[in-house]
Amino acid sequence: MLNLSLAVLSSALVSIAMRLSKSRVKKETALLATNYLLCSALSWADTGFAPLLPAGPGLPTAVGLGLLDGFLFLAGFVLLQWSIRRNGVVLSATFQKLGLLVSMVVSVACFGERPAPWHWFAFALALAAIVLMNRRSGGEKAGSMAGLLLLLLSCGGCDVMSKVFEVYGSASLSGHFLLYTFFTALGLCILLIAVRKEGLPGKMEWIFGFLVGIPNYFAAKFLLASLTSLPAVIVYPVYSVATLLVVTIAGVLLFRERLRKQQWAALGMILLSLILLNV
């Protein structure tokens, strides 16, 4: 559980750093690019600065899955931006987090994992908590349900790629898999910046890009490591709702955010689901 706990902490730090950047960074795509640049450098360093394309039978798998994962990384960001404009923040954030459904379905249907009955209950409780945490009175109407579903699939698909690599990839190339993932996302970010004509990163983009990039790299690294010792049907729900729990508590303590009654109830549901998932 140590790797999973570190993955949760790292993921929460990414969200906190992004929250801090909101009023200070004007070029979000440039921030992402600096983040992926640092993640690529850390991934390469983790391999001991090995050749970028080492010889071995597992190389095509690592490259192919890394390219797909990197694409999904950036696709999720672009779809989230578009969905917020079209569907509003609440629905977009909810469907982003409900990408958890994808990883669970793939783990059960494709990899034959079988959660215990109480794990299914914990999973349903976690999904209900996610919806309740993001619910607003009056609600928001979906401007594009297709866009919300694409957001769900891209975010969920990005998460599940770690499990796919754990099953089909070579453990010795795990560092290269992350390198290819982040380097692909970096290349697509640069292309997006050029198309949008957003300009080069400024001082704040570099600072917060690095503040985001360090925990972002370790979140991916520890999540991948946790899947080697724990079933995905435990890892993904815990990773998702525990991160939400830590970020929410940080919002209360660090940013003086006030929670509504339903959000306190959602936190209680998350705690119960985490207990059940660890039984």
Please give the structure tokens belonging to residue 102.
């994808």
- Rounded CA separation 144/86 (Å): 7
Interior/surface letters 195-212, b for 16+ CB within 10 angstroms, e for the rest: eeebeebeebbbbbbebb
145's tokens: 């349900």
User: Are 244 and 68 in contact, with CB atoms under 8 Å apart?
Assistant: no
CB 136 within 8 A of CB 129: no
**pLDDT score at 140:** 54
Torsion of CA 137, 246, 77, 200, to 10 degrees: 120
The rounded distance, in Å, linking the Cα atoms of 25 and 6 is 27
Query: What pLDDT, in 10s, does the model give residues 54-109?
Result: 988 899 999 999 999 999 989 988 888 888 778 776 677 778 888 888 888 888 88
3-state secondary structure 128-175: HHHHHHHCCCCCCCCCCHHHHHHHHHHHHHHHHHHHHHHHHCCHHHHH
Q: What is the pLDDT of residue 142?
A: 58
| CB distance 113 to 230 below 8 Å | no
**Six-digit token string for 253:** 């303590």
The span from the CA of 49 to the CA of 269, in Å, is: 44
Q: Please identify which residue in the block is written with the tokens 């009056």.
A: 138
**Nearest by Cα to 180 from 147, 225, 220, 126:** 220
Could you report the per-residue pLDDT of 217-243, keeping only the tens digit for each?
Answer: 999 999 999 999 899 989 998 998 898
Token pair for 250: 């940080």
Percent of the chain with pLDDT over 70: 96
If you average pLDDT over every residue of the chain, what do you get?
88
The whole-number pLDDT of residue 38 equals 96
